[in-house]
Amino acid sequence: AQSVAQPEDQVNVAEGNPLTVKCTYSVSGNPYLFWYVQYPNRGLQFLLKYITGDNLVKGSYGFEAEFNKSQTSFHLKKPSALVSDSALYFCAVRPSHLAGSARQLTFGSGTQLTVLP
């Protein structure tokens, strides 16, 4: 069975500093990996995905994520945090070889990012 771990419930960072939100995964075969962001009382918004190719993936709002197969990680990063980045961030995985069948996204428990002014 696939799983996602987000080891930090809460990440605090000062505005203008770089941020990292950690994610590790477990899946059979090659993974498809996703990051979503959730603002209060809102649905999930797609940020970026890793499918294949370059390990560094760039997404919306200046976010990027680095896929590391040996460490089974997909950490979300941003060079300079904004107060408006404060939100709940979810990492999700889907096994690539089962993506055409009925296997759906498995989400982590989320990391609350707070950017302090």
Contacts with another protein by CB under 8 A: the residue count is: 25
Strands 111-116 and 10-14: parallel
Binding residue for another protein (CB under 8 A) from 41, 53, 70, 117? 41
Q: Is 43 in the site for another protein (CB under 8 A)?
A: yes
Binding residue for another protein (CB under 8 A) from 23, 76, 78, 108? 108
Q: Is 5 in the site for another protein (CB under 8 A)?
A: no
Q: Among residue numbers 57 through 86, which ones bind another protein (CB under 8 A)? A: none
Query: Which residues sit at the interface with another protein, rule CB under 8 A?
Result: 4, 32, 34, 36, 41-46, 49, 51, 90, 92, 96, 99-100, 102, 104-110
